[in-house]
Structure 1
Amino acid sequence: MSHRRTPILLFAALTLLVSASIVPRSARAIDTGTIVASAASWNCLDYKVTGVCVWLTCTPFGCYTQTSVKVRHYMPDLVVSVYQQTGDNPWSVISPLAPSNATAQAGGNQTEGRAGRDHRNVRFKNADAVGHPAAAGFDLLSSVGYTCDSAATPMQPYFLSVFDSLAWRGGVPESGYPEALTPGMREVGSTGDIWGNVYPRSGFINQANDYKAAAVIAQRVADFVTREGQPHVYTPLNASPRAGYWPPDPITEGDASTGKWQRLQPDRTQSCSAFPDRGITASFSDVLADDGDYVWALWRPYECCQRRGQELIFAS
């Protein structure tokens, strides 16, 4: 089979895989079928043939080599929901997994100002990170050697903020970290357009724009979920390198080579980018959610080649 045709056939297979999963949804909630369908994005996949792997196999009768194609592409690892009211995740099937409890209730913003001049600056958001349901389809396609295995387990909760109240609502202990106390350190955005600071990685943020606030919250969740040993209640999402398999590094803000975001709600897109997003109007009117609820898919880059022998002796 021609390697040039491989990406086209892969994308066709993904499209067929997800097309059967599309089901109607309410105006407010997002369902699993819609999320699976969103994974048929050529822009987000960014599939490339990057080289070749040479494998060595030895038997009592001698040794021989075989080759396999080395590919690099992004995969949808996580669905990150950032939402207003505790217990009301906009992904309807996940909402029952993150109910209000004695340490996590309510939500919303703090209004400041006086008569007719009120503005909202201090915002609080709940956030959940769950394994992307389309990861199962990528794992299925990996059996033929043209996609990589995802580190994510489909539908597995990696973080539910209602069970992380001390860190998520209290900012303990990260409010005292140098990253939280040093201006200009670990920020989302660029000079003249700073969206917010990554630390402390909690649900509170000082940001007048609701979309920017939610995006920074999503970035915070991805930051610790893709790392081990962080002071949060979560399950780390990572994988160890092995012969012919190179999983991604932890995500870093502003660096699309570690991960990029696809907006699923509101105004679902078929493209991916690091925050700050591309193509958003200056007023943000096209992406602001009336209910304060947002959903993104986090895509991360993987590189791999199909095992064709006992030992990997060369990879270009």
Structure 2
Amino acid sequence: MSGDRPLALTPAMEAALDRWLVTEAATRDLSPHTVTAYRGDLLAFLHFLAGHWGGSVAPSGLAPLRQTDMRAFAASERGRGLGARSLARRMSAIRSFLRWISDREGFDLSAALSARSPRFARSLPRPLTPDQAQATLDRVGDHATPWIGARDAAVLTLLWGSGLRISEALGLEGHDWPFREALTIRGKGGRERQVPVLPVARDAIALYLQICPWGHQPDRPLFRGIRGGRLAAGTVEAAMARARAVLGLPASATPHALRHSFATHLLSAGGDLRSIQELLGHSSLSTTQVYTGVDDAALMAVYRSAHPRG
């Protein structure tokens, strides 16, 4: 997009975009964050077309769209510095909108939709080994203020033992305790899932609550900050950063790496992808399939080190 002020969308296109976003949010159970991202993707594309074609475009005006227009937009975005991964996501949202509006308006956009998305190398998660994860928990728990060490260890035990996102763990309330064998978690897009809670995690939380200055209060957050408010993710991240520095772990050893560890350790133990997808709360199996790459990488490392011809 040029530095000029983008042309405004036509009222009909504004209405169509809003209708599509509502439909996507309802049928695909999208989070508000994703809906906002999709809106930004489509606004970037429609504003580009307005400049590319010399005027704002109505829904029916998309009928002449061709593969060359899609390529021109992709080239423009790359020229502005958008990475291949972000552009691929942006093009996916645009294709979804174009399929929807072509069905709604009754024209064929198959030529435009045939444009390929940019390829990018999907980065593999970098989980911790079981020994590294345990050493991290032990180190985090060794704090000058015992209740803070117990709190941080309890949070990280939940991430590793139940595959929670850090936001999900810190969003737990006092009334969620005591835990049963499974815990109901509301994740991205409002999707609910059941996750297992191991006895070691329940024990860690019980110890934290026993020595926490505020104890257990059902109407307050389960995990409390130094002044009694909800514990911030940055505090847990800082605690893990200190632990990895002492243990000599790589910078990838973050709280989220413990969630990756949960998935890869289950996969290595024979867990099936569909079950792991449910436990992690992934909306798409393709998101979970990245862990097979982690497992394959580990197997190849063993092969290369052990095979006589390696």
> Which TM bucket (shorter chain)?
under 0.3
Q: Which has the higher strand share?
A: 1
Q: Which has the higher helix share?
A: 2
Given the two structures, how large is their TM-score scaled by the length of structure 2? 0.25
Given the two structures, how large is their TM-score scaled by the length of structure 1? 0.25
Q: Which structure's relative contact order is higher, taking Cα pairs within 8 Å and 6+ residues apart?
A: 1
